[in-house]
């Protein structure tokens, strides 16, 4: 089992190039199932979740290869409709193949998904919305058996709550449905915008009609095109916070700063100095960190995927801070490990109270989910002494070459076996 060894108390200095977005790549990869031609994708991150999705597409009959850093997906002979538990169990996004398979074939058998243990994240919203397009479904022994006897028929759908995954699944499915679909109360994360941009590039007819409403006119086929996936804003946010935690000086490259206004403004309020250029964010950490009350919320609010990381920074603030987790009900699993390092964090329901002025102490640690894993790295970077982080397979699901990127900016971190 691989572990990370971190020797802390170094300030990070230099430049980090941000990889393509995992959370944008996954729905785009799933949506390529709509096609019966070739699709070429650039800027996919080399992380485990992408590898798993590629394996899932291949199991469904997609022919996939890398050619000069481009992923070439050929679906001219793709004809399978069964997504196995073995491939979906580690990745929440596996459910996103349901929409395109139903749109293309009118039938799918897809395992209920797995992923991080950060809450129930039910697929009910996906299934109820798909049923309005004409889908009939049963859940049998952990699999969704879904059929669309008359094909998918466009209609008006309002999501009962804002859901990124359900919004993605319905956008993909409705792109080949007969007639017009309107989706309201949609999630508006940048990764959804990237999915829509991809689908428009390959010939779909999608447009925003209000802030959270979409109009989708179904098309009969998908064109052969090339598309480049957006940058990973969660990776970028993680390294921005890493600079603030270590009082470092980092240039975060290959980003679109306006997409990260919320995170940038918050880090400025906490005390970091930030300068923005066209595709770069330059951050200098401050020794004095101000306490803050934060709540996670759908975009453009503060992202739940950066909650664990910002908590580490707030441990070093001058006073007590409060974080309210409004997205997932079980996303404070990193707290016990941070407390073992000297933090004083107490949990009451979906609220975490974080006492400031923490001096982190090195420790042996256990990662519990993807973002918790990286929060432990941030704390270890700030702690004196050697920390060991176990179960880093969580980390490899979403961060490309994290130890190599950190090594280049001065971190003493390495991967070990044991």
CA distance readout (Å), 85 to 21, 59, 91, 104, 397:
24, 12, 10, 21, 17
d(CA 126, CA 364): 40
Q: Using an 8 Å Cβ cutoff, are 86 and 76 in contact?
A: no
Would you give the DSSP letter of residue 287?
A: S
Q: Distance between CA atoms of 399 and 395, rounded to whole angstroms?
A: 6
CA distance 321 to 289: 11
Q: Between 164-174 and 124-132, two packed helices, what is the crossing angle to 10 degrees?
A: 30
Q: Is 186 a catalytic residue?
A: no
Alpha-carbon separation of residue 284 from 239, 241, 271, 310, 402 (angstroms): 12, 10, 9, 16, 20
Within 147-271, residue ranges assigned H as helices are 164-174, 190-201, 233-245, 261-270
Contacts of 6 (CB under 8 A, 6+ apart): 362, 377, 380, 381, 383, 386, 387, 388, 389, 411, 412, 413
Give me the residues paired with residue 407 across strands: none
Please name the helix (run of DSSP H) or strand (run of DSSP E) that holds residue 102, with its range, or none: helix 98-105
Residue 23 CA to residue 93 CA, distance in Å, equals 9
Active-site entry in 116, 186, 204, 315: 116
Between the alpha carbon of residue 347 and those of residues 63, 152, 274, 325, 395, the distances in Å are 48, 45, 31, 11, 24
DSSP string, 261-281: HHHHHHHHHHT-EEEEETTEE
CA distance 285 to 371: 21
Q: Please, are residues 343 and 315 in contact by the beta-carbon 8 Å criterion?
A: yes
Q: Which residues are catalytic?
A: 116
């Amino acid at each position: 089992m691989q572990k990370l060894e971190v020797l802390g108390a170094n300030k990070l200095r230099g430049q980090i190039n941000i990889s393509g977005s995992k959370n944008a790549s996954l729905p785009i990869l799933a949506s390529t199932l709509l096609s019966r031609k070739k699709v070429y994708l650039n800027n996919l991150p080399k992380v485990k979740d992408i590898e798993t999705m590629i394996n899932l597409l291949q199991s469904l009959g997609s022919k996939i290869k890398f050619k000069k850093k481009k992923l070439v997906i050929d679906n001219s002979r793709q004809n399978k409709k069964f997504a196995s538990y073995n491939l979906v169990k580690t990745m929440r996004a596996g459910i996103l193949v349901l929409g395109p398979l139903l749109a293309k074939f009118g039938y799918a058998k897809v395992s209920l998904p797995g992923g991080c243990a950060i809450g129930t994240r039910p697929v009910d919203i996906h299934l109820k919305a798909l049923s309005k397009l004409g889908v009939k479904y049963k859940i049998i022994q952990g699999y969704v058996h879904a059929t669309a006897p008359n094909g998918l028929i466009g209609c008006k759908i309002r999501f009962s709550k804002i859901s990124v995954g359900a919004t993605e699944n319905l956008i993909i499915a409705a792109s080949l449905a007969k007639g017009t679909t309107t989706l309201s109360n949609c999630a508006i994360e940048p990764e959804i915008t990237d999915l829509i941009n991809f689908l428009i590039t390959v010939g779909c007819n999608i447009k925003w009609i209000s802030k959270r409403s979409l109009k989708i006119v179904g098309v009969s086929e998908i064109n052969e095109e090339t598309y480049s996936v957006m940058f990973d804003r969660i990776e970028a946010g993680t390294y921005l916070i890493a600079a603030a935690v270590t009082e470092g000086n980092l240039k975060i490259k290959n980003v679109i700063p306006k997409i990260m206004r919320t995170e940038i403004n918050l880090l400025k309020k906490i005390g970091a100095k930030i300068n923005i250029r066209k595709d770069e964010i330059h951050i200098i950490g401050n020794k004095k960190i101000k306490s803050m009350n934060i709540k996670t919320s759908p975009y453009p609010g503060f992202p739940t995927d950066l909650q664990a990381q910002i908590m580490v920074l707030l441990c070093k603030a001058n006073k007590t801070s409060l974080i309210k987790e409004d997205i997932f009900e079980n996303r404070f699993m990193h707290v016990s490990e941070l407390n073992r390092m000297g933090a004083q964090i107490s949990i009451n329901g979906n609220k975490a109270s974080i006492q400031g002025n923490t001096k982190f102490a090195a420790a042996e640690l256990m990662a519990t989910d993807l973002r918790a894993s990286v929060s432990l790295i941030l704390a270890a970077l700030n702690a004196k002494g050697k920390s060991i982080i176990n179960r880093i397979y969580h980390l490899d699901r979403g961060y490309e070459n994290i130890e190599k990127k950190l090594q280049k900016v001065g971190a003493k971190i390495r991967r070990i076996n044991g």
